[in-house]
Chains A and B, each alone.
Chain A
């Protein structure tokens, strides 16, 4: 299994950057997810690692060996595409065997390896079928099998679940992760779905506008987003982000609300904010604690059942709504007054101009 290093790798299309100079190390056996909205550069990055796209400048190293200008087939990688890319005129078995035949592997060995991989993915019963006759899930399993059978140094996957129905997606997600745990192959996985990224990645690389916004574990990305983009993008719904004005340990929030700043943050806010005290307060929906004597006043805008819990949407003023996770038994009428507090250890602060998270050096995850 390979360690993959990207050194100042960049890609330009014409005059605009698809990927700005990027440094990244993917450890051997690691499952890395490149996450971001469409057009953020994640797929281009993946394609540069695979060699399907040439870099504009920079170097790509596999186990310390420079492969920047090596042909994709010489890099010993397997690529799984969103639309499966199965050959429709070949049976599932022939599709899986295809890369081995290209390498000139002996017939008996091919049969043996196809059988082993089909068993692992539980697709023995569809081996003789053509891709067109298979369900979306089985097609993607065959595509995965074709990648696995090679035993490559790294797997590169470009939204492999994107084309599947929601009902398959959840279980395929678990299957791919389980497969990774068995094989421990270095994997680079591209997706725009933050749930997928959180569930699967050892580390998540959040990208936006050709730039890496944050590269960290799912827990870190969720609890300590590096900037507003990550805070908004991760979570469903994203982090509540409210503009306020800080002064002497208190923050003025919309709707004439005042929030007390946790002790641990006061020093940071005193020193790091612009002169006018403008600050963006961030907290996750589960950090909201509804309480009769809560310091923030709001009215219910909507409340809805999400199965196991209820999501409250609380209006501070016309344009500012806070999402709060509540017990599923909680039911509210429209425009009811609700008071709440924010759990002190779960509140985050962002600089209004740089949009970067402020650090106080002590917050927990």
Chain B
């Protein structure tokens, strides 16, 4: 296991800048998630770490050792792809043995066998070892792919959206398993995803990327509770954060076209501020300061999303599943002032309090 440092990495594909001066360090034993929309540069970052892509400038260090010139085979990293990387003409066992039999490792067959059985046990694929990979289900295939990485015992695991081709139920269960395995092995893992829930649930730390830039790096709690920009705030959390344009009036912030108005936070904010409120922080109470009407009810079972029309603005609120609210009902609500987010006109978080 080891730590990885990327220093001022820039990568261009013809006219497109995929990565723009990206710098960060992944700690030893950490589950590090690169989160961002399509085209953010997450996969390119992963490929630069693996050596499958050569950066135009900047450096990659493994344990403080400069690794720019080291070919992929010698970096001792394991790569799990979104799909396709199992060899269809080999059995599961042969697939798992393939990296160990490489000319670089030439592991003795006896040890290969032990390692494979150990990994198969951990991933619950022992019964599949003799199967051809073409006959496996999607979930089984991805388990084998992960198994092929585990048998290597590499310095670092690189995973490129390994769960995104699976159906929702399978994704949920593999997510938990993968996290469990990572925690028990304490393996340094870099995991790429566009799915915020994967990032939140699995990561020790998340790096949010957009258009080749890092927007924020932090723990899931940091990212969720203190998003650095509106883009991060909107990317993380479902339903999405309420973002409301406000103006300052007599010491308070008034949400445009609405009844909502709050005290200007200590420390001061600019003239124009975007107010961010997570749906779970919009609370319906009988003596709430603001009023509105229920415009839409989305029952999700465990909880219900209420769309509350307050003047020209609509706020989303999460309430418990068994709600008695009716459509078009007049309601009173409050926002908890301790959990508010403020962003300036450029969408950058305004530090306060």
Contacts and interface: CB of A to CB of B under 8 A. Distances in A.
A207 interface: no
A334 B298 contact: no
B221 interface: yes
A219 B299 contact: yes
Contacts of B322: 219, 365
B237 A307 contact: yes
A177 B200 contact: no
Given A199-B305, A285-B302, A286-B302, A304 B201 contact: yes
Interface string A187-231: 000000111001110000000000000000011001100000000
B131 interface: no
A222 B321 contact: yes
A199 B298 contact: yes
Interface string A228-242: 000011111110000
Given A37-B167, A306-B201, A301 B302 contact: no
A171 B280 CA distance: 17
Nearest to B124: A319
B329 to A, nearest CB: 14
A305 B301 contact: no
A170 B278 CA distance: 15
Contacts of B280: 307-308
Contact of B295 (A178, A194, A237, A301): A178
Given A302-B179, A302-B180, A307 B236 contact: yes
Contacts of B183: 302, 334
Interface stretch (B76-84, B92-100, B168-176, B258-266): B168-176
Contacts of A193: 168
B300 interface: yes
A207 to B, nearest CB: 16
A198 B224 contact: no
A325 B169 contact: no
Given A236-B168, A301-B180, A302-B179, A307 B200 contact: yes
A181 interface: yes
Contacts of B46: none
B170 to A, nearest CB: 11
B38 to A, nearest CB: 8
A306 B298 contact: no
A198 B176 contact: no
A311 interface: yes
Interface string A162-180: 0001110011011001100
Contacts of A60: none
A278 interface: no
Given A37-B167, A236-B168, A311 B298 contact: no
A178 B296 contact: yes
Report the contact-size class of chain B (Cβ under 8 Å from the partner).
35 or more
A338 interface: no
B338 interface: no
B217 interface: no
A170 B240 contact: yes
A198 B299 contact: yes
Interface in B64-89: none
Contact of A238 (B169, B220, B299): B169
A178 B314 CA distance: 13
Contacts of A165: 37-38
A177 B295 CA distance: 10
B220 A170 contact: no
Contacts of A236: 168, 172
B202 interface: yes
> Which of B37, B278, B299 is most buried by chain A, counting CB atoms within 10 A of its CB?
B299
Given A304-B179, A305-B221, A334-B183, A177 B298 contact: yes
Contacts of B239: 170
Contact of A200 (B236, B298, B327): B298
Interface string A282-298: 00111000000000000
Interface in A80-101: none
A219 B38 CA distance: 35
Interface string B289-327: 000000110111110010100000000001001100001
B150 to A, nearest CB: 17
> Which of A173, A222, A307 is most buried by chain B, counting CB atoms within 10 A of its CB?
A307
A269 interface: no
Contacts of A307: 197, 200, 224, 236-238, 278, 280
Contact of A334 (B184, B197, B237, B307): B184
Contacts of A171: 240
Nearest to B197: A306
Nearest to B316: A174
Interface string B206-237: 00000000000000110010000000001011
B176 A301 contact: yes
Contacts of B236: 307
A351 interface: no
A145 interface: no
Interface in A97-137: none
Contact of A232 (B167, B169, B300): B169
A289 to B, nearest CB: 15
Nearest to B177: A302
A142 interface: no
A286 B322 CA distance: 12
Contacts of B302: 222, 235, 284-286, 325
Interface in B231-253: 234, 236-240
Contacts of A232: 169
Nearest to B235: A167
Which 8 pairs across A and B sit closest by C-beta, in order of nearness?
A304-B201, A199-B298, A222-B301, A308-B280, A305-B220, A307-B237, A302-B180, A302-B179
Interface of B: 37-38, 167-169, 172-173, 175-176, 179-180, 183-184, 194-195, 197, 200-202, 220-221, 224, 234, 236-240, 278-280, 295-296, 298-302, 305, 307, 318, 321-322, 327
27 contacts: A167-B240, A174-B298, A174-B307, A177-B296, A178-B295, A178-B296, A194-B168, A198-B301, A199-B305, A200-B298, A218-B301, A222-B299, A222-B302, A236-B168, A236-B172, A237-B173, A284-B302, A302-B176, A302-B180, A304-B179, A306-B200, A307-B280, A308-B237, A308-B279, A308-B280, A308-B318, A334-B183
Given A222-B301, A237-B173, 5 more contacts: A194-B168, A199-B298, A284-B302, A302-B179, A304-B179
